[in-house]
A and B are shown apart, each in its own frame.
Chain A
Amino acid sequence: MTSAAVEGLARAAGLVLSPDELQALAPVVARTLEMLERLEWLPLASAEPATQYRVL
């Protein structure tokens, strides 16, 4: 993910980042998303997510 994309997503979320903050955050975001993508490879299709709505 590019710094420009991180900046755009941050703006969409209502966050204002200084250039220094953006520079520090961008690689962390990229690394985290890369690791999250690995969860896509796991056979999770039949796993009900842990968070469920309970009416009672």
Chain B
Amino acid sequence: MSPVVTQGELVWATAVDLARLIAGKDVSPVEAVRAQLDRIAALDAGLSAFITVCEEGALEAAREAEQTVMAGGPLGPLHGVPVGLKDLFDTRGVLTTGGARKILGARIPEADATVVARLRAAGAIVLGKLNMHEFAYGPEGLNDHYGHARNPWDPLVHRIAGGSSSGSGVAVAAGLCPIALGSDTGGSIRIPASLCGITGLKPTYGRASRTGVMPLAWSMDHVGPMTRSAADAALVLSLMAGYDPADPSTSVLPVPHYPAALTGTITGLRVGVLSADFLEAAAPAVQDAVRAALRLFEQLGAVVDEVRLESMEHVPVAAAAIVASEAFAYHAPWLRRQPGDYQRDVCERLRLGAFISGPHYVRAQQFRVVVRDEVNRLLARRDVLVAPSTPITATPVGQVQVSIGTTPSDVRGALLSFTRPFNLSGHPVCSIPCGFSSEGLPIGLQIIGRPFDEAAILRVADTFQRATDWHTRKPSAVAAAPPLDPARTVGGAPRHD
């Protein structure tokens, strides 16, 4: 271990710092990977963040990376940096289940997903595969087969991590890896980012390839990074984004070097606050935190005004119709042959797709254009829009109803309500932590940008993070790596390669 970096500091280092330490020979890739593996071994029985831990493969890659450093070889921007992958990203020779143990519990892909291959080419080391809501179809992040990932911010109550990229949210928040990849069809990156207090980036539809990523709904699926800082998200997106001939949805637009956009200033930035149906519909603690963030934006030189998304009323049903139809098309053979092998809530949701007619689907896709055009109009005179990421903080596992102020709501609908408009529209969105509730639970803020202007939302997120410390706070239950009590957790131990 380097004398300048303790193991405790190592597991909480950002990817940018870790890559710099490795390139400077202050830390060996083997030390970095070993530190994360030790932490996973100590904590994950209580967190259920991982489905598979690639211990041997990660250590072998780390040893090779160390040799390259010592030989003075060329180093990628993420050389030796560990990364976790939601278990729907194909990984060559490594179990990839989609969180569906009974249906895909033995599935081993022959090739990496395009974005995984790109991160490996940049030097990243795959630590393992992360837990998720089965087949990515649920915003709570529950998994009956591999255990429900546990939100690390509450040491006493087993709360949801948010989903569907629940393991990605937990792993990054608990210091099990500095970077994770997630997918987002209705909020599946931003919801766990919000509930777990980390940074999550859903890029523009078409910015990053979905080749080798298990689909939920092709026309709504996005993939992106989940990190502990906007600077890390910028670096990772720079490396994973770009045209992929195997994914016809990807854009040929060139990929900027996003870290260069992080100037630390937002003077004169025009910010539209989605007030009605978003901020005003959130829980009081969420409203307070977001309003405080808006005051900070103004102090930093931004010009803030209120805006409204008029098409919100029909967003839930249009999004549900598209996702259910496309998901049913993918799942129909299994739903007919082995419906009992799904976890119950996912099976129920998937079956709904059988009842959406062709005209209904097309009508929903027409409505989607209305939403896109309206968001574009709002952004014509503003640089970004902002809103809470979720109206509520993490709820206990099993809770299905919640009161938002005095208004009763179902947890699932509430979690999705602020995020899925931008899956319909395809705009890029970054969720960052902006405060905590009185119970100590994280609160997330969404920053929405113009199509393919991830640079702007990352600059806003990074500037906010330079002025605040919400993103650097650590869950007390895992900050010093005391194992959580597995007896209090509804989960299971991860598998090892």
Same complex origin of A and B? yes
Interface on A for B, CB 8 Å cutoff? 6, 9-10, 13-17, 21, 24-25, 28-29, 32-33, 35-36, 38-40, 42, 44, 47-51, 54
A13/B248 contact (C-beta < 8 A), A25-B348, A39-B317, A42-B370 known? no
Top 9 nearest A-B pairs (CB, nearest first) are A49-B365, A13-B354, A35-B317, A47-B366, A14-B336, A44-B366, A50-B368, A50-B365, A47-B369
Considering the complex, give the chain A residue whose CB is closest to the CB of B347. Answer: A21
B4 vs chain A, min Cβ distance (A): 52
Residue of B nearest to A9 (CB): B355
Residue of chain A at shortest CB distance from B360: A36
CB within 8 Å of A: which B282-328 residues: 314, 316-318, 320-321
Interface string of B132-176 (1 = CB under 8 A from A): 000000000000000000000000000000000000000000000
Which residue of A is nearest B373, CB measured? A47
Contact A49 B332 (CB under 8 A): no
- B491 CB, min distance to chain A CBs, angstroms: 27
User: Chain B contacts of A49 at CB under 8 A?
Assistant: 362, 365-366, 368-369
A32-B352, A39-B367, A50-B366 are known contacts; what are 13 more A-B pairs with Cβ within 8 Å? A13-B332, A15-B351, A29-B352, A32-B320, A32-B355, A33-B355, A36-B321, A38-B317, A39-B318, A44-B370, A47-B367, A49-B365, A49-B368
Asked if B372 CB lies within 8 Å of chain A CBs, one says yes
The answer to whether B351 and A51 have CB atoms under 8 Å apart is no
* B binding-site residues for A, Cβ under 8 Å: 219, 248, 314, 316-318, 320-321, 332, 335-336, 339, 348, 351-352, 354-356, 360, 362-370, 372
The closest CB in chain A to the CB of B424 belongs to A50
24 A-B pairs (CB sep. < 8 Å): A10-B354, A13-B332, A14-B336, A28-B348, A32-B352, A35-B317, A36-B356, A36-B363, A38-B314, A39-B314, A39-B317, A39-B360, A39-B367, A42-B370, A44-B363, A44-B366, A44-B370, A47-B366, A47-B369, A49-B362, A49-B366, A49-B369, A50-B219, A51-B219
Chain B residues near A39 (CB-CB < 8 A): 314, 317-318, 360, 363-364, 366-367
- Chain A residues within an 8 Å CB radius of B352: 25, 28-29, 32
Are B370's CB and A9's CB within 8 A? no
Decide if A6 touches B314 in the complex (CB within 8 Å). Answer: no
A13–B321 alpha-carbon span in the complex (Å): 16
Please state if B317 and A48 are interface contacts (CB–CB under 8 Å).
no
Per a CB cutoff under 8 Å, which of B248, B335, B368 touches A15? B335
Residues of A within 8 A of B365 (CB): 49-51
Bound-complex Cα distance A42 to B369 (A)? 12
Residues of A contacting B351 in the complex (Cβ-Cβ under 8 angstroms) = 10, 15, 17, 21, 25
Given contacts A36-B321, A38-B314, A42-B314, contact A48 B366 (CB under 8 A): yes
Which of B355, B360, B364, B369 has the largest number of chain A CB atoms within 10 A?
B355
Give complex CA distance A17, B354 in Å: 12
Cross-chain contact B363 with A54 (CB below 8 angstroms): no
User: Is B354's CB under 8 angstroms from A15's CB?
Assistant: yes
Which one of B336, B339, B355 lies within 8 Å of A29 (CB-CB)? B355
Given contacts A35-B317, A51-B219, is CB(A40)–CB(B363) below 8 Å? Answer: yes
Assess the B355–A14 pair: CB atoms within 8 A: no
Q: Does A15 contact B366, Cβ atoms closer than 8 Å?
A: no
Residue of A nearest to B426 (CB): A50
Rounded to whole Å, the gap between the CB of B266 and the closest CB of chain A is: 32
Residue from B248, B336, B369 within 8 A of A54 (CB atoms) = B248
Tell me whether B248 and A6 are in contact (CB under 8 A): no
Q: Could you tell me the distance in whole angstroms from the C-beta of A20 to the nearest C-beta in chain B?
A: 11
Complex: A28 Cα to B336 Cα, angstroms:
20
A41 to B356, CA, bound (A): 17
B248: which A residues are within 8 A, CB to CB? 54
Docked CA distance A39–B319 (Å): 12
In Å, the complex CA distance between A36 and B339 comes to 26
User: CB-CB < 8 A to B332: which residues of A?
Assistant: 13-14
Residues of B within 8 A of A48 (CB): 366, 369
